[in-house]
Amino acid sequence: MTNKNIVFFIGFLFVFAVVVSAAYIGGILLPRASVVSPQIVPLSSDLPPILSTHSYPFLQEIITITVPVSDSVYRGAKNTDKEVTLYGNVSEEIWVAESYRSMVNDPAQDDFYRTLAGGFKNLKDSNGLSDDEYLELITTFVQSLRYETLTDNPAKFPIETVVDGSGDCDDKSLLLAGLLSREGYRVALMSFGPEAHMAVGVAADDYLYKNTGYTYIETTNISFVGVPAETLRGGLTLQSNPIIIPIGNGTKIYTSGKETRYINNAYLQSQQKSNELGQQLKSLGLNLKERQERITQLESQMQSMRGSGNIQNYNAQVSVHNGLVSDYNTHLSTYRALFAQYEKTVQVHNYILAHEFNRPGVYEYLKQNMEG
């Protein structure tokens, strides 16, 4: 080997060593892009399980469910730092999805999920619930938990939401998605960034939300599966397209979408119709009042005529008076018929609002009471 070749070879080895060293050091100091999500570390505890009891309306009864929760796991979740650590260049959409999945599926909560699901399954069997009704049973449980948001309010682990008996939109959505996914339903979190809102999506045969492939479930209050929130707290409305974060590997779908669509359409129609009828009644009421005042005024004048002996003019006003009274009675009859229609429409509207925990019952009620 010539001197020139030896120099070239040594130079090549030096460059190769630098490259390998840089890659090795970079691997230590600059690890690949990754997300480190909050993880529950159970705390040592000799305390007995926390008995978390919740009662809520479902179908035609009040459901009460009690779940024993490990004090060790609950306090571990409560004391966990909820901040997410990022390494490398990770998009917000990815790290948000990974952190939420991690909180839903933290293995320390497996016993909690198993015990709570056992209580729901007992209710399903004892009440002979269908898969759709079972989903609604679990959904209404989560919706019935008190809505609460705090200034410093990182997302909770599902075990915290149940024991606390409260949470905001993301807390309750994480809990519902975790429960439904473990019961075999195909679910996802719907994250609305601009509105700072979260809901749950479940695969369905009908009434899908926008182009997501899922029907919408609002978790902040009791409402029908499929019905989007009309107005959020603070007066916001949902305008953005949500980020979809699938949870679990479930395959079951919700098959009562047509019924909840029918119910919501009936609700909106009854709301619009009651408003229109209310305006008509107000106008008719004012008209009747004016007619009544004219009749009262004429009767006063006729009494004066009669008292003064002006019988000729009195007799001349009798037919006018009778015409006004007849016309008033005709309008009064119209008012009463319209009021009966208004009363029935309001009754339907209020029935829907008062029974959002009973989809089968409301559907049957509407089939019997809606016109047409």
For residue 35, the model assigns a pLDDT of: 84
Question: What are the backbone angles phi and psi of residue 140, rounded to the nearest 5°?
Answer: -65, -35
Region 37-42: mean pLDDT is 93
Out of 84-93, 121-130, 195-204, which region has the weakest mean confidence (pLDDT)?
84-93
The pLDDT-based confidence of 31 (bands split at 50, 70, 90) is low
Residue 126 lies in a domain: yes
Task: Verify that 250 and 276 share a domain, yes or no.
Answer: no
Task: Verify that 7 and 129 share a domain, yes or no.
Answer: no
Rounded to 10°, the helix 169-182/92-104 angle is 60
Task: Verify that 104 and 172 share a domain, yes or no.
Answer: yes
Q: Which of 224, 255, 286 is the last residue of a domain?
A: 255
Residue 286 to residue 273: CA distance in whole angstroms: 20
Report whether pLDDT(19) > 80: no
| Lookup: tokens for 171 | 């807390």
pLDDT tens, 77-99? Answer: 999 988 888 888 888 889 889 99
For residue 250, the model assigns a pLDDT of: 96
Residue 38 lies in a domain: no
Residue 37 lies in a domain: no
Q: Tally the domains of the chain.
A: 3
Residue 42 lies in a domain: no
Task: Verify that 219 and 343 share a domain, yes or no.
Answer: no
Report whether pLDDT(10) > 60: no
Task: Verify that 248 and 281 share a domain, yes or no.
Answer: no
Region 291-309: mean pLDDT is 93
**Domain range for 185:** 50-255
Task: Verify that 304 and 364 share a domain, yes or no.
Answer: yes
Region 199-222: mean pLDDT is 96
Task: Verify that 26 and 109 share a domain, yes or no.
Answer: no
Q: Are strands 197-202 and 243-247 parallel, antiparallel or unpaired?
A: unpaired
Question: What are the backbone angles phi and psi of residue 150, rounded to the nearest 5°?
Answer: -120, 165
Task: Verify that 191 and 59 share a domain, yes or no.
Answer: yes
Task: Verify that 301 and 168 share a domain, yes or no.
Answer: no
Task: Verify that 184 and 240 share a domain, yes or no.
Answer: yes
Residues 85, 100, 208, 250, CA torsion sign: positive
Closest to 38 in 3D by CA, of 90, 89, 92, 104: 104
Residue 251 to residue 190: CA distance in whole angstroms: 18
199 near 190, Cβ under 8 Å? yes
Task: Verify that 189 and 62 share a domain, yes or no.
Answer: yes
Task: Verify that 15 and 156 share a domain, yes or no.
Answer: no
Instruction: Using DSSP, state whether 63 is helix, strand or coil.
Output: strand
Out of 14-23, 66-75, 232-241, 310-319, which region has the weakest mean confidence (pLDDT)?
14-23
Question: What are the backbone angles phi and psi of residue 237, rounded to the nearest 5°?
Answer: -120, 150
Residue 219 to residue 134: CA distance in whole angstroms: 16
Q: Which of 210, 235, 255 is the last residue of a domain?
A: 255
Residue 45 lies in a domain: no
Using a pLDDT cut of 70, give the percent of the chain over it: 91
Region 334-338: mean pLDDT is 95
Q: Which of 233, 255, 277 is the last residue of a domain?
A: 255
Residue 249 to residue 1: CA distance in whole angstroms: 63
Residue 43 lies in a domain: no
pTM score of the predicted model: 0.85
Residue 244 lies in a domain: yes
